[in-house]
Amino acid sequence: MKDEVTLNGAIADQLRGYVSRLEQLEQDVVEVNRKKAAIYSEARAVGFSINSLKHVLGVRRNAKKDGREREDAVALYQSDVPTRPY
């Protein structure tokens, strides 16, 4: 058996495409992280607590997630429970 595996042209092109897209996303992440660091530095320079900012962001992120989960649960319950007049 060969030690080296070769791919046919179409599969190799597809693989190169995936690698290229992933590399671009990695570059984008680096750029976003650089921008976030600059914003945190700016906020720190005017006296804001970075830990507090990060906490606020986490709370807001979780509130969005929890809100969607709650809405989904309510919709599920409402679809399964017949409504009664009160």
Model confidence, pTM:
0.61
Share of the chain above pLDDT 70, in %: 84
Q: Is the pLDDT of residue 12 over 50?
A: yes
Residue listed under structure tokens 């995936």:
18
What's the CA gap between 58 and 61, in Å, rounded?
Answer: 5
User: Is residue 18 within 8 Å of 8, Cβ to Cβ?
Assistant: no
Q: What is the tens place of the pLDDT at every residue in 60-85? A: 888 887 777 777 877 777 776 666 66
* Cα atoms in the Cβ-side hemisphere of radius 13 Å centred on 8: 1
Query: Which sequence spans correspond to the domains of the chain?
Result: 8-48, 49-81
